[in-house]
Amino acid sequence: MISVHSIYSLEVVASKLEQLNLSYLAGSGLCMVLLKIDNYNTFLLNTNQQECWALKFTVVNIAEEISSEHYTCDVFSSDSDKFVLLIKCDETADYKEFQNQLEPVLRSIQENVKKYISLSLSIAYSTPFKGLEHLPMMYSNMKNSILLKLRYGHQSIISPYMADEIDTDNLMIPVNQFDALIGKLLEGKLDASKQAYEKISTQLSTYNYDEVMTNLIHLIYNIYTSVVVKYPTLKEYATLMVKHFMVELQNIEVVVDVDKLMNDTIESLCQKVTNTKNNSEYQSKDYIIKSICDIIEKEYSNYEICLIYIADKLGLSPNYIGHIFKSVKGKSIAQYIQDLRIEKLAYYLNHSSLSLEEILDKVGLEKNNYFYTLFKKHFGVSLSEYRLNLVNKGL
C-alpha cells in the first residue's frame, strides 16, 4: 500500500482497508511518521532472530499505545529497520499548531523505547495530506528525510521543513582542501592531517546524505591513488584500507560516524607511511629487484608468471616494478623470465635424460613454433643441431 511498487488499485486498497477496520485512512487527512532503528547493523549483530522480532513487536506496541492516546492511528512495520505510523489529522490545520502537538508525542515514543528496550529511534514526519494515492510518494519522501539524521544525529526528530536547511547543490569540496589533506598524509603527519580533514568535515553536515557519501568515496580513492604512486610498496595495504573503508561506509548514519571512520583511517595510514619512510631497505630499489628475482627463480616453471602476476604478489604497481627492473637489469621482466627459462632448458638438455616435453614442462615453456624460433635465436642453432652437437661432445 505504501510501496511505490504496489500493484493494487485504489479500489482494492480501499476494500482491504475496510476489512482491516482502517477505512479512515481512505477518507481522512493523514500524517505519515517514519520511525527508524538507529545503528541497525549493530542491533542485528547483538540480537538473534527471535529477539529481533520481539523487540520490533515491542516498538510497534509502544508507538501505537502512546500515539493512540492523542490520535486515531495505526503502526505498521515496513522495511527491516523502519516502522510507519499513520495518523488521522486535519490536512487544513495550522502547521505550527500541528507540529507543537505531534512532536511531544513522538519524543515520548523515543523515550519509552529507549527506557524499556534500550533502542534508539530516529523519526521523520510529513506535512498533513489527503488521498491514498499519495502514500507511496510520502513514504519515499520520508525515507529521504530520515537520512537527514546524518546532520541531526541519532534519536532526532526531523520535521518536513528541516530539509530546507540542507544545501541541495552538489557538494564540491575545494581541490586545495583535498590536496592539503593528501599532502599531509603522504608525509605521515598525523596532527596536520587531522587538522586538514577538519576543514572538510565542517562542510559535510550541510549537505544531503548522497552528496556526502559520493565525496567520501571520491576522497578515499584519491588518497589510495596518491599513496600507491608515492609508496608503491604500500599498494596491498592501501587496497585493504579502501575495502575496509567502503564496508564501514555502509554503516554510516551520522556525521560523528563519518569523522570516526576518517580519523581512524588517517591514524592508520600515517603510521604506515611513517614506518615505510623509516625503513630504507623496504623502500630501496635493490630490495624490490631482489624480491622480483626471487619470485621468478622460484616460479619460472609457472606458465602464468608475468609482470602483473609478480606485481600482485608484491602489492606494487606493474608499471612501477617494470620501470625500475628495466632501469637496473637492462631488460624487461618478461625478457628476464624468458632468458632464465632458456638457461634452465639448456641445463636440463646438458645434464638430464629427460624428454623434451618433460623439460619444457619443468621450465614453463610450450612446444610450438614460437619455441623453436626462440631457441634458434638464443643459441644460434636449431634444437636438432644443438642436440647433435651434444652427441658429438659425448654428453
Contact 4, 140 (CB under 8 A): yes
More confident residue, 306 or 132: 306
CA distance 255 to 154: 10
Mean pLDDT of the chain: 85
Apex 82 CA angle, 211 and 111, nearest 5: 100
Contact 97, 49 (CB under 8 A): no
Query: What pLDDT band is residue 7 in, cutting at 50, 70 and 90?
Result: very low
CA distance 209 to 149: 9
- Which of 4-8, 90-94, 389-393 shows the highest mean pLDDT? 90-94
- What does the pLDDT read at residue 38? 93
pLDDT tens digits, one per residue of 330-380: 999 999 999 999 999 888 888 888 888 898 899 998 888 888 888 888 888
Alpha-helix residue ranges (DSSP H) falling in 82-148: 95-117, 135-146
- What does the pLDDT read at residue 4? 45
CA-based nearest residue to 263, from 173, 165, 194: 194
Q: For residues 118-156, b (16+ Cβ closer than 10 Å) or e, as one string?
A: ebbbbbbbbbbbeebeebeebbebbeebbbbbbbbbebb
More confident residue, 63 or 135: 63
pLDDT tens digits, one per residue of 143-174: 988 988 888 889 999 998 887 766 656 667 78
Q: Where are the domains of the chain?
A: 10-165, 175-279, 285-392
- As a whole number, mean pLDDT of residues 133-147 equals 86
**Residue 58 CA to its chain's centroid (Å):** 33
Contact 43, 153 (CB under 8 A): no
pLDDT of residue 315 exceeding 80, the answer is no
Taking the CA atoms of 3, 5, 10 and 16 in sequence, report the sign of the dihedral they define: negative
CA distance 91 to 101: 14
Contact 294, 314 (CB under 8 A): no
**Within a 10 A sphere around the Cβ of 100, how many other Cβ atoms?**
10
- What does the pLDDT read at residue 205? 75
Q: Report the percentage of the chain scoring pLDDT > 90.
A: 41
CA distance 205 to 209: 9
Domain at 10-165: CATH code: 3.30.70.270
Contact 185, 223 (CB under 8 A): yes
- What does the pLDDT read at residue 284? 67
In sequence order, the β-bridge partners of residue 130 are 29
Domain at 285-392: CATH code: 1.10.10.60
Task: Report which secondary-structure segment, H or E, holds 300.
Answer: none
Q: Fold match between 10-165 and 285-392?
A: no
CA distance 106 to 113: 11
Q: Which string of DSSP letters, residue by residue, matches 156-216?
A: -EE-GGGGGGSB-SPP---HHHHHHHHHHHHHT-HHHHHHHHHHHHHHHTTB-HHHHHHHH
Contact 269, 263 (CB under 8 A): no
Taking the CA atoms of 313, 319, 324 and 328 in sequence, report the sign of the dihedral they define: positive
- What does the pLDDT read at residue 19? 60
Phi and psi at residue 154, to the nearest 5°: -65, 150
pLDDT of residue 307 exceeding 70, the answer is yes
CA distance 377 to 266: 54
Q: Which residue has the cell 510518494?
A: 137
Contact 226, 182 (CB under 8 A): yes
